[in-house]
Amino acid sequence: MKTFFVSLYQGFNALTKPVRISIYLLISYSVYALLLGLILPAVIQSQAPGMLSEKLGREVRLTKVSINPFLLRTRLDGFTIAEQSGDTNFIQFDQLELELSFWRTIRHFTPVIDHLDIQHPTVHISRLGTVNGISRFNFSDIPETLAKQTEQNLPEERAESQQVSDILALLADRLSIQQGHIHIQDQITGTKLDYPVFNMELNLLDTQAFTLSIPNTKRSEAIELKAGSNHYSLSLIGTDQGQLALSGQFQLQPLEIIGDLQLSGITLPPFWPLSAEHIQAELTRGSIRFSSDYHLRQENNTVQFNSNNGQLMLTHLIFSEDSKPRLTLPELAITGITVSTTSRDIALDKINLTGLSIDAMLDKNGQIDLQRLFTPVPSSEANNVTPQNETTAKNSTAPKPWLISLNQLTIDDSDLHLTEYFASSGVHWRIYPLTLNTGPLLSDLSLPIEYQLSLGISSSVAQEQAEKPRGQFNSTGILDAQAISANGTAQLTSLDLSQFQPYLKPYLNVELTTGNLSSEGTFSADKQGRATFTGQAAVANLLVKDGLEHEPLLKWKKMALQSLQFDQQKSSLNIASIRLDAPYAKILIAKDRRTNIGEIMVGNKEIAEKEKTAKPADKNSDSRVQNTKTAQQPAFNLNIDNIKITDGSAYFADYSLTPNFASGIENLQGYINHLSSDPATRAKVALEGKVDRYAPVTLSGEVNPLLTPPYLDLDFVLDSAELTSVNPYSGTYVGYYIDKGQLSLDINYLLENNQLKGSNHVVIDQLQLGQASQSDLATSLPVTLAIALLQDTNGVIDLGVDVSGDLDNPDFSIGGIILKAIGNLITKAVTAPFSLLANLIGSDEELNLVEFQPGVAILEAAEEARLRKLATALTERPKLFISVEGSVAPEQDSHALAEMQLQHKLLQLSNLPELPASLTASRMPQTGPLVSALEQLFVQELGQDIGQERSKVEQQLQADIKEGAELDPLQVTSVLHIGMYNQLLSAQKISPDALGNLADARAKATKAFLVQNAQLEPGRIFLLDSKTELKTEAAQALLTLDAK
C-alpha cells in the first residue's frame, strides 16, 4: 500500500505544473462540493433543529436541507416551529430556497441574492389572554426565552448596536413568499380570521439605493436615483375572497415608501368580535372596499405620512341585536380621501350614504336604545390614568390639532324607524325618504354649514310600515355651530294630524280623525335666545270627533294663517290674517245627559281630587315658583289683524230627550279685527248667520279676551227663530209641546274689570202651546198662566231682563245668571200674577182682593176703582180669565147680619115705612111705635117681664148715684131700651147659609161690576162656589187668574 502512494506521488510530481495546478483545483473543488453539498446539509439538518429548539424553547423540526454548491442554492424543506404545547404548529413552510449570486457579489463587493423564495408558509397567530392589562399571544414566550438566554451579553450587544450607523449593504433580485397561509385567532373574543393566500415579493432590492429621493448632503450631486430598484408587492386573500393588495417602491435610508393600497370584497363580520366588548350591537353583514395612494417618509427623525386619491366604500352593512336588524346601510362611499401628517389634516371630497335604515326605540325614560347599542364602553385600562401620565400630559406641548374637512355630505333615500314609548303607549314613527345634502364641513366647526334637508313623516300604532309619507318636510339654510346660530327656510306639507291621536288620547276624550298641517317660511336662531319665524301656516280638512257619541265635534275645510311673525326673544306673535273656511262645531248631550264638551278632558275627577288634597304649603310654593317664572319672562304679545269666517256653522243636539232635539247656526260669516294682547286695543267683532237656515242672527261689538281680566262689549241679536224646533225641550221640561211661536233676542253684555252687566231683551211672538206631554220632568208651575200673563193683546211676550255678576266669584257663570233672572221673572209671574198685572198699568195695588163692609155685598168707590184698574190690565192680557169667590169675616159679618135682622123685625112690628138711618141701641126713642115693637119683641123672643127688667136697671143705676138722690126717669128708660136691644141682638141666630149667601152675593157683585161697569166680557169671569166651602178669611171677594 505504501509503495502505491509513493508511486502516485512520484507520478504526480512528474506532471507538468499546469496539470498539477488543475489537479489541485479539482481536488479543492471536490472537497468544497463534498463539504457544502453533503456534509454541511447533514450537519445543519441534524443539529439546527435541536439548537433552535433550545434557543426558542419550542420544538423545531426540519425535514430536509439541501445545498447546491455549484449554484450556491440552499433549500430547506419541511421547516416547523411548534406551539408551546407542542400539539400544533406555530410556523411552518414547505420550502425555503436561497440562491446567492457569487460573481455579482465579487463584482459589486456586496452580498447579492439571486432569489429567496418561501413556498407555502403557514403562520398561526393567537391571542391567549391578558396579564396585568397586557395581551399575551401564542408567541409571547419566544422573545421572553431569547431575552433570558442573551441577558449576560446584552450590554455588549447594546454597545455594538450603538456603533452601527449604516444599513447593511445587500442586493437581491427577488425576495418572495408564495402561497402563504395565515391563521389569526383571538381566544378572548372568539375572533377567527383565515387568509389561505398570502403572497409577497420584493424585486431588485438594494438596501443602500436611493430610489425615491436624494438626501440633501454634500454628496447629493454625485448620487443617482435608481428608479428601478426596491419594488414591492403584497397580496392577501381571505376565505371570503376579500383581498388586500399593496404595491409600490421604497428606500431604507432615509426611510421612504410609496405605493398603492387596495382592499376589495373584505367582509367585516369576522372582525366584529374584536369590538364586541365595547359595542353591544352586532355587525352581522357588511363588506369594505378601499383604495389609496400613500407616501411615507422619514425626515429629521420624524416620520411623515401622506395619502391621496383615497376611496372608501362600505356596502351592505347590517347591525343587529338579537338577530333583528337595527341599522342597515346598503352603501357608504367616501371619495377623494387625502391624509397628511405634516399639516395634520384629513380632506374628504364627498361622503354619500345611500339607503340608510335605522330601527330605534325611545323608552319611557326618554333614552334611545341605539345610544346604548352603539356607545363604546371604555375599557378598564383606558380609565386608569396614572398621575405620572397626567403630569407628562400637562408638561408636554400640545401638537396642532387635526383638521378634518369635507366638501360635501349626502344622505339619500334613508329610512328611519322610531318606536316611541316616552309620551305614548307605543307609536311607530317612520322618517322616509330622508335626503340631506351639505356644503363644506370642517371638524373645528369654523365654517358655517349649508344644508338641504328633505324628509317624509308617517306613523302608525302598529309596527307595519306606512307605504306613503303622511307629511313632507323640506328645509334649506345655514348652520353655524361655532356661533351657535341657524337661519334658513322650512316647508311642511300636508302633515297628517291624525298621527298625533295617541298623544291626545291620555288627556283628551276626542278622536282627531283627519287634518293636514302645512307651513312654510324663514327662520333664524342664535345662542342669545333669539328665535324667529316668518311665514304662513294652514290646517286643512280638520275633523275632530267627540269620544262620547263619536260624532263631529270640531271641523273646518281650511284655516289659513297669513304673514305669521314669531319672535321668541320679544315674546311676540303677529298674524296678519286668519281665514276660517267652513268651520263647524257641535255641542251634544248624550242619552245619559253627559255632554261632549264636559267629557273632553280625561281624568277630570282624579285631577280635581288631587287638587283638593294638595297641601296649602305646596300651593304657596307653586305660586311662588309661578311668580318667579312670570317675573323672569316678559308678557307674551299676540296681535292678529284680521280673522275672517266664511260659511261657518254650529250645531247642538240633545239625545237625552224624546224625541231628540237638534238645531244649528248656518251660513256664519263675518270678521274679528285687531285682536291683540295690548290693553289699549279692542277687537271689532261682526258676525252673522242663520239659525236653522232662516232666522238671522248677528254678533257685534268689541272684545279683548287676551287681557287679564278680559274685556267684552257685545250685542247678540236673533230674529224670528221658530220655537217649534225646541218641542223636545218644551215637552220634557215645560209639559207642553209648542204648536206655534217665534223667538227674537236682543242681548248686550259688558264685561270690564271682571264685572258683568247684561241687558237681555226677549221677544216671543204668537206662542201657542199644543198638547200636554205628560212628562215626569215637567215643571209644576202653571205654564199656561205664565204665558197668558206675559203675552199682550198682539200675542207678543216682551221681556227685559238685566243681569250682573262678579267673575271673581267661583260660582259665577253667565248662563247661570241669565237662567236665574228669567226663572225669577216667570216664577214671580205665576206666583204673584196680580202684582205683574199691576206693574203693567203702573200700579202697586193688590188687585186680587175686593173688600166689603161687614154684612153687606155692596162695592165701595175705592173697590170700584181697583176693579177698573184690574179690568184695564186684563184687557192687555186677553188670554187670561178671572175667577171670583166670596169670603166672609164670621164674627163681624154675623154681628152685622144679626143687627140687620133685628132691625128688620122692629120695622115689621112698628108698621113704620122705614127705620131711622141712625138707629142703634143707644138711639132708641123714649116712646112711640118703635119702642112698642121693641117691648113686644123682647117679651116674645126672650119671654121676660119688662117691669122686672126695669127694676134691675133702677137698682143698677141707684147703686151708682149718691144716697138720697132721685133717678132720672128718662135715663132709666134709655138704659132699659139699650139693654133690651142688646139682649135681642145677641139672641138673633145667623145661619151658615146666611154667611154663604153673603159671600156669594159679594162674588156676584164683583162680577156684575166688571161686566156692567168695567166692560169685561162675561166669558172671562167665572164665579166659584162660595157657599159649599165657605171662605172665612175676611169680608172680601177673592180673585184668581188662569189662562185659556
Residue 80's pLDDT band (boundaries 50, 70, 90)? very high
Residue 392 pLDDT greater than 80, yes or no: no
Instruction: Please provide the size of the chain in residues.
Output: 1044
808 & 901 share domain: no
Same domain, yes or no: 766 and 879: no
Which of residues 783, 807, 831 is at a domain's end? 831
Which of 765, 796, 831 is the last residue in one of the domains?
831
Residue 169 and residue 78 in contact, taking contact as beta carbons nearer than 8 Å: no
pLDDT in tens, 645-690: 999 998 888 787 777 777 788 899 999 999 988 888 899 999 999 9
The C-alpha cell 238645531 sits at: 663
More confident residue, 296 or 149: 296
Query: Would 895 be classed as within a structural domain?
Result: yes
**61 and 178 share one domain:** yes
pLDDT at 188: 86
User: CA angle 488-493-499, nearest 5°?
Assistant: 120
pLDDT at residue 231 tops 70 = yes
Task: Give the residue, 824 or 190, on which the prediction is more confident.
Answer: 190
Mean pLDDT of 462-466: 62
Does residue 564 fall inside a structural domain? no
Residue 785 lies in a domain: yes
pLDDT tens per residue, range 534-549: 999 999 999 999 888 8
Residues in Cβ contact with 150 at an 8 Å cutoff, skipping those fewer than 6 apart: 157
Same domain, 812 and 949: no
State how far Cα 702 lies from the chain centre: 34
Query: Please, are residues 518 and 546 in contact by the beta-carbon 8 Å criterion?
Result: no
Q: Which helix (H) or strand (E) holds 1005?
A: helix 992-1008
Q: Which of 831, 853, 882 is the last residue of a domain?
A: 831
- Which range of residues forms the domain containing residue 947? 845-1044
Average pLDDT over residues 794-812: 69
pLDDT of residue 619: 47
Within this chain, do residues 859 and 800 fall inside the same structural domain, yes or no? no
Q: How many structural domains compose the chain?
A: 3
Q: Are residues 877 and 984 in the same domain?
A: yes
Strand 683-691 and strand 661-676: pairing?
antiparallel
Q: What are the E-state strand segments in 55-111?
A: 60-68, 73-82, 89-100
Assess whether pLDDT exceeds 80 at residue 387.
Answer: no
Does the structure show a pLDDT above 80 at 256? yes
- Each residue's pLDDT tens digit, 483-536: 899 999 999 999 999 999 999 988 899 999 999 999 999 999 998 889 999 999
Q: Report how far apart, in Å, the C-alpha atoms of 280 and of each of 354, 371, 417, 947 are.
A: 24, 10, 19, 142
- Residue 854 in this model has a pLDDT that exceeds 90: yes
What pLDDT was estimated at residue 743? Answer: 82
Q: How far apart are alpha carbons 709 and 753 in whole angstroms?
A: 6
Question: Do residue 820 and residue 943 come from a single domain?
Answer: no
Q: Among residues of the chain, what percentage have pLDDT more than 90? A: 41
Q: How confident is the model at residue 163 (pLDDT cuts 50, 70, 90)?
A: very low
Residue-level pLDDT at 228: 84
pLDDT score recorded for residue 819: 52
Given a cut of 70, whether residue 896 has pLDDT beyond it is yes
Q: Are the beta carbons of 662 and 597 closer than 8 angstroms?
A: no
Compute CA distances 494 → 415, 517, 677, 936, whole Å. Answer: 19, 5, 31, 118
d(CA 301, CA 296) in angstroms, rounded, equals 13
Distance between CA 969 and CA 397 in Å, rounded? Answer: 157
pLDDT at 811 over 70: no
Could you tell me the pTM of the whole model?
Answer: 0.74
**Residue at 573 is within a domain:** no
Per-residue confidence (pLDDT) for residue 218, from 0 to 100: 59
Summarize pLDDT for 585-613 with one digit per residue, the tens.
Answer: 988 888 887 888 888 888 655 444 544 44
- Computed over every residue of the chain, the mean pLDDT equals 85
Residue with cell 287681557: 707
One domain for residues 88 and 197: yes
pLDDT score at 907: 84
Residues 874 and 788 in one domain: no
Question: Has residue 1004 been placed in a domain?
Answer: yes
Whether the predicted pLDDT of 403 surpasses 60: yes
User: How are beta strands 231-237 and 243-252 bridged, if at all?
Assistant: antiparallel
Region 626-641: mean pLDDT is 69
Query: Is 497 part of any domain?
Result: no
Over residues 1012-1023, the mean pLDDT reads 91
- Do 700 and 811 reside in the same domain of the chain? yes
Cα 885 from chain centre: 73
pLDDT for residue 390 is more than 60:
no
Q: Is residue 8 part of a domain?
A: no
**Cα 432–436–438 angle (5° rounding)?**
175
Q: Which residue has the higher pLDDT, 865 or 463?
A: 865
Whichever domain contains 893, its CATH number is 3.30.1330.60
pLDDT, position 235? 95
What pLDDT was estimated at residue 522? 97
* Confidence at 402, pLDDT banded by 50, 70, 90: very high
pLDDT bracket for residue 210 (50, 70, 90): confident
Q: What is the pLDDT of residues 760-796, one digit of tens each?
A: 788 888 888 888 888 777 777 777 877 777 778 788 8
Q: Quick check: is 612 in a domain? A: no
* Rg of the chain in Å (alpha carbons): 62
Is pLDDT of 834 > 70? yes
**Cα gap 458→468, rounded to integer Å:** 8
Identify the band that residue 614 occupies on the pLDDT scale cut at 50, 70 and 90: very low
Which of 97-106, 299-308, 963-972 has the least mean pLDDT?
963-972
Give pLDDT, residue 610. Answer: 47
Residues 805 and 747 in one domain: yes
C-alpha span between 94 and 99 (Å, rounded)? 17
Determine the average pLDDT of the residues in 1025-1033.
Answer: 88
pLDDT score recorded for residue 215: 77
Which range, 308-317, 590-599, 913-922, has the best average confidence (pLDDT)?
308-317
Residue 441 has pLDDT above 70, yes or no: yes
Question: Has residue 18 got a pLDDT over 60?
Answer: yes
Regarding whether 964 and 817 lie in a shared domain, the answer is no
754 contacts 711 by C-beta, under 8 angstroms: no
Q: What is the average pLDDT across 169-189?
A: 93
